[in-house]
Structures are given as C-alpha cells and as structure tokens.
C-alpha cells in the first residue's frame, strides 16, 4: 500500500491490524527517535531491533562501495532498511508514506503496489515540487501505476484533480473519488476517530476505501477507447464492520492533534506546516480549548523551517487571539542533549536556526496580529533561541497560580513538536499505541 500523509497511513495501519494482519508502516519524519519511522504492528522498532537491522543493512552496502559517496543518503538508506525489516518480519501488509512529492521520491520504487492513495494536496516543499498545487499534483501523480487502483478525495484544490485524472487516463489507472465519512452505513456503531479535527474525517474515509481495496484486491482494467478513468465510489453499500470501527477509533498518531494535560498548562500539539493544515489545526484548537469552563490564557509556541512562508502560515493563527506568542528554533539545549541526538539538524547551523525564529517573530509583528490582554504588542511577542528556553518561559513567566492554567498551542513544525514532546514527556509514553478509545453500539 502506497500513499501520502501520515495520518491517513496511520488510519490504514490501525484498520488492517484490527482485521488481524501483521502490519509494517514506514513514515517520516520521526518526532524524537529515528526508530519511529519503521513500525511493526503499530509499534516502533525497539532500540535493539533497530540496531541489529541497521548493521545488517549498512555492512553489506559498505562492502559494495567503490567510493565513500556510494552509501545511500539518509532517507534512501532508511527506505532500504524499511523494506529489509518488513521482509524479515514477514509482514502481511506494508504501508509506505511517500517522502517528498512522489514522482522522484525514493519510495516510488514499488512497481506494483496493491493500492495507491493520494490525500488532500497543499503547498509544501515548493522549491522542489513547484509553487502551484497543479505542479505539486504532477509530482504526486507519479506514484500512480498502470491498472493499480488509486483513491483520492474530491475537494482537491485548483485544477489538481484534473491533473490526477489526466495521469490516470494516460497510464490506464482507475482513479476513485471517495465519499464523505457520514455517507457510510455505520449501524450499529458510532462514528469515533482516534484523531481529532474535521480534516481527519476525509483521511478516515480514504483509509477505509484503501483498506477495503487491500483486503479485497481485484484487477482493474481500463480500455484503450475509454475517455475517462475517474470514478466515484459509492459508500452506501459499504457496511462498517467491527475491525473497521475499532481501527478508526484506536488510531493514534503522535504529534498530530494531540493534547497533553499537565498541572499548570494544557498543551495542544500539532505538527501542521502547510497553510491548509494550519487552518485545520486552528479549527481543532479552537474547538478543543473551548471545552474549558472559562477562557484560559492562550499561548502560541511556533517555528517554521525551510522555504515555507512564515506570514502565510501565521495568518490563520490570528483567529486564536493568543495572549502571548513565542517563537523559537527547533534546537534543544545542551542540558537535555541526551533527548535530542536524533533531532539534530546538520543541514543548517544553529545561528541560522535562531535567525529563523527572529524572522518568524518579525512576520507576526509586521502582520499586526491581535492579542488579548492589556499589555502592548511588543511585550506579548518573544523570540527565544531554543525549545528549552521557550518552555522555561512558559513555566517561569506565564504560569499564574490565580488562573486555571494555560492553553498552549505548539505548531508550525514537526521537528518543533518532537522537541517539545521529548522535554514534556521524557519517557516517551506518547509513542505507545493508543488504547484509550473504545467502540460501542449506538444508543437512542
């Protein structure tokens, strides 16, 4: 199974695991430890398993090297290792999340996947994929394969759905448009998702169709004379079974729409890093934080990296009316170095990362975003060098015994989210497979 967007992959993995299959799941990036990228039955490889498989892949590759540059780069190596692990673990289904784009992504070596999924497209990695959704759709369409069924959502932006349809016709690939989740025949179960937010309803519907296609494979044929390859999927005959309902309810994908409640603050953690996902994050945060009896002080911790437009990402966040906005790098300080070894970014210097947090802060101020409270705008914006200093600022400067606590939204970067989680939950309990949601029959 071959698709993009980690949350949809996570839904698929959970559904198929509850159908009794042994699952392998390859995703990127990791939040804290690189072993998170390769999961068996929903659980990351243990440190011992990861080390053993690493050397079983690395040593043969090294022996074949004629030059030191012959060793596959980081992501390519991890992809090779994932294939090796899944073969050795004898998984019954392997779910691969595409890295960047699709057409030239190294995961795209799978010539004949059982099924392919393309999730909602947005502007990301524009320096590599292009600065329009149509250009990005061209790259995403690269994972479509002749006669392999491909599923996607109906509300793709711009002309991107037409780009996918043209590719489908060109290579004789059936392209199916999935329905909304409320169109399914849910009786006798209630609709319950392990991941929060409206956007997850689209991802869950796509995951249901992908899982059904994997469990009931059939060879799709498209005649050469046919002038279209795009078909709607009817949801009404789709009877939801207990493994489907359990799989959706028990899906857990750390760092996405995740709530961590501490004594002094509630952290709302979401790795959104595109304009579309930030919009979804804002909707989720406003809904989730509204459950408090009275409005608590709102704090934003934000960073964005690479070629992403800070102003574009920050614009939707003004709806949250934060009392304090904190901008920091993705760096974890030396005092917590043990928590950050797999979080190091060697592609940019520390100075560059710190400067980026200042750029993000300036973008916030230049847009004149509104704050609550009586203090001046300048006092409500803070740029700090590390994640540690950002969290310390929250604890030392913002926690007030006279209030019920703080609502802290952490977003803009998955690497930022990973760093925050590594400090707030040093035992990494958040990485465990979710076991909190249950499924019960509907009651009147």
Q: How far is CA 110 from the centre of its chain?
A: 22
The share of the chain scoring above pLDDT 90, in percent, equals: 61
pLDDT of the residue at 295? 67
Helix, strand, coil distribution of the chain in percent, nearest 5: 45, 15, 40
- 29 cis-preceded (ω within 30 degrees of 0): yes
Q: What are the φ/ψ torsions at residue 298 (nearest 5 degrees)?
A: -105, 135
Task: Return d(Cα 12, Cα 119) in angstroms, integer.
Answer: 13
Structural Rg of the chain based on CA atoms? 22
| Span of 153-157, 222-226, 300-304, 308-312 with lowest mean pLDDT | 222-226
pLDDT of the residue at 401? 56
Across residues 76-83, what is the average pLDDT? Answer: 97
The mean pLDDT value of the chain amounts to 86
Q: How confident is the model at residue 110 (pLDDT cuts 50, 70, 90)?
A: very high
Q: How confident is the model at residue 40 (pLDDT cuts 50, 70, 90)?
A: very high
Across residues 63-71, what is the average pLDDT? Answer: 90
Segment holding 383, helix H or strand E: strand 381-384
Q: What are the φ/ψ torsions at residue 23 (nearest 5 degrees)?
A: -110, 145
pLDDT of the residue at 372? 58
Q: How confident is the model at residue 443 (pLDDT cuts 50, 70, 90)?
A: very low
Q: DSSP character for 426?
A: T
Length of the chain: 444
Burial of 40: CB neighbours in 10 Å, binned 0-12, 13-18, 19+: middle
Using one digit for the tens of pLDDT, what is the confidence trace for 402-428? 466 899 999 999 999 999 999 998 877
Q: How confident is the model at residue 444 (pLDDT cuts 50, 70, 90)?
A: very low
Q: How far is CA 208 from the centre of its chain?
A: 18
Question: Quick one: tokens of 411?
Answer: 């977003």
Look at residue 420 and give its three-state secondary structure: helix
pTM of the full structure:
0.87
Task: Return d(Cα 225, Cα 151) in angstroms, integer.
Answer: 22
Q: How confident is the model at residue 294 (pLDDT cuts 50, 70, 90)?
A: low
Number of alpha carbons in the 13 Å side-chain half-sphere of residue 124: 21
Question: Quick one: tokens of 435?
Answer: 């076991």
Pairing between strand 258-261 and 265-269?
antiparallel
Q: How confident is the model at residue 217 (pLDDT cuts 50, 70, 90)?
A: confident
23 against 154, higher pLDDT: 23
Pairing between strand 150-152 and 116-118?
parallel
Task: Return d(Cα 234, Cα 229) in angstroms, integer.
Answer: 16
Question: Quick one: tokens of 344?
Answer: 């190091």
Look at residue 382 and give its three-state secondary structure: strand
Crossing angle for the helix pair 133-140 and 160-171, to the nearest 10 degrees: 30
Question: Quick one: tokens of 330?
Answer: 């993705």
User: Is the distance from CB of 63 to CB of 75 less than 8 angstroms?
Assistant: no
Which residues have CB under 8 Å from 7's CB, separation 6+?
195, 200, 203, 251, 253, 256
**Straight-line distance from the first to the last Cα atom of the chain, in angstroms, rounded to the nearest whole number:** 38
């Amino acid at each position: 199974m071959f698709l993009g967007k980690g949350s949809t992959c996570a839904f698929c993995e959970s559904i198929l695991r509850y159908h009794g299959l042994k699952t392998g799941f390859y995703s990127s990036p990791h939040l804290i430890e690189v072993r998170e990228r390769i999961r068996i039955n929903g659980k990351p490889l243990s440190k011992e398993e990861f080390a053993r498989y690493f050397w079983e892949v690395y040593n043969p590759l090294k022996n074949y090297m004629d030059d030191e540059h012959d060793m596959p780069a980081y992501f390519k190596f991890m992809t090779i290792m994932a294939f090796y692990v899944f073969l050795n673990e004898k998984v019954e289904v392997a779910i691969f999340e595409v890295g960047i784009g699709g057409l030239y992504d190294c995961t795209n070596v799978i010539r004949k996947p059982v099924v392919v999924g393309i999730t909602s497209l947005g502007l990301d990695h524009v320096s590599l994929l292009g600065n329009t959704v149509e250009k990005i759709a061209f790259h995403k369409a690269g994972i479509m394969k002749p006669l392999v069924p491909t599923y996607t959502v109906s509300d793709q932006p711009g002309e991107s759905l037409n780009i996918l349809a043209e590719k489908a016709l060109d290579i004789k690939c059936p392209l199916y448009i999935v329905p909304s989740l409320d169109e399914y025949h849910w009786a006798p179960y209630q609709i319950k998702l392990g991941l929060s937010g409206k956007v997850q309803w689209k991802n869950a519907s796509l995951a249901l169709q992908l899982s059904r296609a994997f469990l009931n494979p059939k060879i799709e044929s498209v005649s050469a004379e046919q002038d279209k390859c795009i078909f709607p999927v009817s949801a009404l005959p789709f009877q939801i079974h207990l493994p489907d309902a359990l799989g959706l309810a028990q899906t857990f994908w750390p760092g996405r729409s995740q709530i961590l409640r501490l004594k002094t603050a509630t952290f709302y953690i979401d790795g959104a890093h595109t304009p579309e996902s930030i919009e979804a994050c804002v909707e989720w945060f406003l809904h989730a934080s509204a459950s408090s009896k009275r409005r608590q002080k709102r704090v934003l911790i934000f960073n964005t990296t690479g070629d992403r437009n800070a102003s574009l990402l920050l614009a939707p966040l003004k709806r949250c009316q934060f009392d304090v906005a904190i901008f920091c790098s993705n760096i974890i300080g030396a005092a917590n170095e043990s928590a950050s070894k797999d979080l190091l970014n060697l592609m940019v210097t520390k100075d560059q990362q710190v400067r980026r947090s200042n750029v993000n802060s300036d973008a916030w101020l230049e847009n004149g975003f509104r704050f609550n409270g009586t203090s001046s705008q300048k006092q409500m914006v803070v740029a700090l060098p590390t994640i540690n200093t950002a969290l310390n600022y929250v604890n030392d400067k913002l926690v007030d015994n006279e209030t019920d606590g703080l609502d802290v939204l952490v977003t803009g970067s998955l690497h930022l989210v990973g760093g925050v989680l590594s400090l707030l939950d040093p035992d990494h309990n958040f990485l465990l497979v979710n076991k909190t949601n249950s499924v019960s029959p509907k009651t009147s």
